[in-house]
Amino acid sequence: MIPLIPFLVSVVLMFVIGLAGLIVKRDMVRLLMGVEILFNAANLFFISLSTQSAGYIDPFAHSIVMMAIVLDGTVIAVGLAMVMNVYKHYGTIDIRKLRRLKW
Amino acid sequence: MSERRYASFLTVLAIFGALFVASWLTLEADFPAFQYSAEYSRRLIPEEQFGDIATLASRYLWEHRALDLTGQAFVIVVAVVCCLALLKQTEARH
Amino acid sequence: MVELVSSGLNLPLPLAVLLLGGLLSLGVGKLAEWMNIRRLREAWIVLVSAAGLFSVWMLYQRVQAVSVIVMALWEQNPPLAGCFEIDMLSVFMAGSISFIGLLVAVYSISYMENEDRLTEFYTLITFMMAGMTGIVMAGDLFTLFIFWELMSLSSYVLVAFLKRTWGPIEAGFKYLLMSATAGAFLLLSMSVLYGMTGTLNFAVLSVNLRGVEITPWLIAVFCTLIVGFGVKSAIVPLHTWLPDAHPEAPSPISALLSGIVIETGLYAMTRVFFLVFEPGVFKLPIAFLSVLTMTLANVTALLQSDIKRLLAYSSIAQIGYMLVGLASGTAYGVMGLFLHVFNHSMMKGMAFLASGSIVHETGTRDLGRLRGIGKMMPITSISLFIALLGLGGVPGTNGFISKYHLFSAAFGSGLGWLGIIGVLNSALSMAYYIRVMQVLMGSPEEGFKAHEAPIPMVTVTLMMAVIIVFLGVWPAPILNFATQASKALVDGLLTYIGAVLG
């Protein structure tokens, strides 16, 4: 049986990197990449859990991950279409310039 | 402190806080892997048939998760309609 | 007393009607474009939502005979497969969704007359309603996640629909970013739950995880679930997308979003919490979040000068009142919660539709410039007046009845301080509702002219006002339905589990 700790450490690191990317970065495409990293952290955790039963693998986790990859791909696609529209109006893809709607 | 310094200080604090909580959770508290599982609700595939594992796993997907696959087909249709709605270049008929 | 349906291809009837209607709506739109038939798309969506409402009525008859219906596909039985599990609470929420969907469809016949890309608009509304119906009927966490993404994708684009100006695009992008992050948190919590029990089926999760001792990983699951569902339900630290998204969306979409989409997030949270945790675990955290939500939203709403933004902050406050019902942890509190879900969809939906009529006729959303609109648009103003009275909780409207039940449930379950804070917040909210009423009833300035809104819009707002007053005076049927629904969730847990596990 493969020990779980290395997998768990990588999942947690990916989670923190994704969150840090969302907080720090100002380019919209990089923010969408941060969301994608968060989704992939969850997918990695599913896959690493399927190795935990001794001598067997659990195909449930593989099915879930195959569907989750498609779902977050669609979210990123719609996000990128929205980024194109933002560029048409604002001329920049810096999220700190999107401050016209306040209070 | 000026406002930008304040914001970056809070950001660094938040990231270090998240790292601290996450590493405490990983290393101190044992993850109860399948501690509460029940026999009737899982179907496992033995590891010995190394060449066939991919076929068996995808057979599981088609045999037991067809409802979710149907839902996912609708999500893909909706994503196509969404991108069409966002990227079409027509004018309003006034 | 339960029914397991699993042969062949069968989906619950409202879901099948809405999904098929959405698919065919693409073809109908193409047909309308080639043969240049006016109003074909609008007729199709009204037909589909009316058929959805009728099929919810038929489902209600069937669920009243047996308590729980479990539906699976092609002989694939739970707990290994995804399934739909329909009890009275699902029928209640599906009825609310279809009802307000029908009203919004009739309203948008004349509101969206001059827009383009109407095929995509009506298709996305139908798919959003289908996604919400799938969420309330799901019996498995991953099925819920798929329909959750269906609803969310449609709503991102519907908020950013009028893409000719910069406002909707900015609001839509911020909404997408926050809501996609919440989806990732939800998937993460699902992976931890899977890691602990080996399955994602509601019944098996409940049997295995309910009542175990609280370990740090279970607390981590609790927090990620609150973040995952809370961004969509606009609970306070995670609400910042809502005051931008709701005003910038087209008015029928604002009514749908405020009226039923955020409440569907609250339904999912209620369902998962009652299944996986004991009520004692989540009482205090939810009570704390409820106080934070109510107070912050009411105080910020006092400072607004844009009518739709004020109504958006009011929506956040109403979610705070609904969380009082969840925090009580009893069947009575949950009854108050879902009764307030239906009433709020009527009141806030109608408030957004009426202010949409005002914006459609005058072209401005600023309260300072709308003074005296009451004399020029009498029917819309009377309806808006009744909606604001209901939102503030004045006796005689259905808002009073549901708030009364919510706060007395809080007093009855040992959280007296929560009930007192709720009543004070309700009184505080009347302050900004009275401000809007003063604007409606003032005297108009020179040269300010507007005429009454077109017939579909006026009819819908007037009908919803009549429903608000009628349910305020005679609430017995809806009270009965909500009691059955809440009993099915809280007391009928063993029936629910037994339906799947036999």
The counts of H helices and E strands in chain B are 3, 1
Report whether pLDDT(B92) > 70: no
| Sign of the C-alpha dihedral computed for residues C403, C408, C414 and C419 taken in this order | positive
Q: A68: which chain C residues are within 8 Å (Cβ-Cβ)?
A: 145, 187
Please tell me the least confidently modeled range out of A61-75, B49-63, C417-431. B49-63
pLDDT along chain C (502 residues), means of 10: 64 89 92 86 93 92 84 75 87 94 92 86 94 92 94 94 89 94 95 88 86 86 93 91 91 92 93 89 91 93 89 94 90 92 93 91 84 84 91 88 91 88 92 88 76 86 90 89 88 79 69
> For position C404, what pLDDT does the model report?
92
For the segment A70-92, what is each residue's pLDDT rounded down to a tens digit? 999 999 999 999 999 999 888 88
Predicted pLDDT of residue C439: 85
All partners of chain A with 3 or more CB pairs under 8 angstroms: B, C
Interface mutation target, options C191, C201, C313, chain A, most CBs of A under 10 Å? C191
Q: Does the model's pTM come out above 0.90?
A: yes
Q: Look up residue B51 and give its two tokens.
A: 């060449």
Residue C211, domain extent: 2-501
What DSSP string describes C143-191? HHHHHHHHHHHHHHHHHT--TTSHHHHHHHHHHHHHHHHHHHHHHHHHH
The pLDDT, as a whole number, for residue C342 is 93
In this prediction, residue C70 carries a pLDDT of: 83
Selected residue with higher pLDDT from B90 and C494:
C494
- The per-residue pLDDT of chain C, averaged, comes to 89
- B94 falls in which pLDDT band (50, 70, 90)? very low
Report the gap between the CA of C20 and the closest CA in chain B (Å).
10
- Name the domain count of chain C: 1
Is the pLDDT at B1 greater than 60? The verdict is no
Do the Cβ atoms of B41 and C80 come within 8 Å?
yes
Which residue range(s) make up the domain with A92?
5-97
Cβ–Cβ under 8 Å, residues B4 and A96: no
Structural domain contains residue A102: no
CB pair distance less than 8 Å for C173 and A83: yes
Q: Quick check: A84 contacting C, CB < 8 Å?
A: no
Contact C317, C304 (CB under 8 A): no
CB contacts, 8 Å: B86 with chain C: 157, 160, 163
Number of domains in chain A: 1
Q: At A62, which CATH number?
A: 1.10.287.3510
CA atoms within 13 A on the CB side of C182: 27
Query: C400: distance to nearest CA of chain B, Å?
Result: 39
Whether ipTM tops 0.90, in short, is: yes
| DSSP assignments along A64-85, one per residue | HHHHHHHHHHHHHHHHHHHHHH
* pLDDT tens profile C268-320: 999 999 988 888 888 999 999 999 999 999 999 998 888 999 999 999 999 99
What's the gap in Å between the CA of C150 and the closest CA on chain B?
Answer: 5
Residue B6 predicted with pLDDT over 80: yes
